Amino acid sequence: MATDYDAPRTRPEDEPATASLAVVQARGATAQAPAIDLEDADTAEGIDLPGADLSHEELTIQVIPEQTDEFTCGSCFLVRHRSQRARESRGTVYCIDCEG
């Protein structure tokens, strides 16, 4: 079905055509704004500036060693699943994305 973009738009039923600007603004003022959930990372304290001294910081993530069905690509150095293996050359394994 073709749409006529030049045709005047119809107003929704909850907003009559005779509503004044003051009525529309008053209705918008009484509507509640959604609550914003801020996490600790969303505050300015969670932002690390370039060149900042982070020597006193402690690593808080758990590092999982490479599993038996994974390999590290010799080009992009990402740990990939063995299904992503493209080729091996001189003991170095390459992934499909780097060989692509």
| Model pLDDT for residues 28-57, shown as the tens digit of each residue | 666 556 666 666 555 566 676 788 787 888
Contacts of 79 (CB under 8 A, 6+ apart): 66, 70, 71, 72
Each residue's pLDDT tens digit, 60-75: 888 889 999 999 999 9
| Structure confidence by residue, pLDDT tens digits, 88-99 | 889 899 999 998
By CB neighbour count within 10 A (0-12 exposed, 13-18 middle, 19+ buried), where does 95 fall? buried
> pTM of the predicted model, to two decimals?
0.41
Give the 3-state secondary structure of residue 95: strand
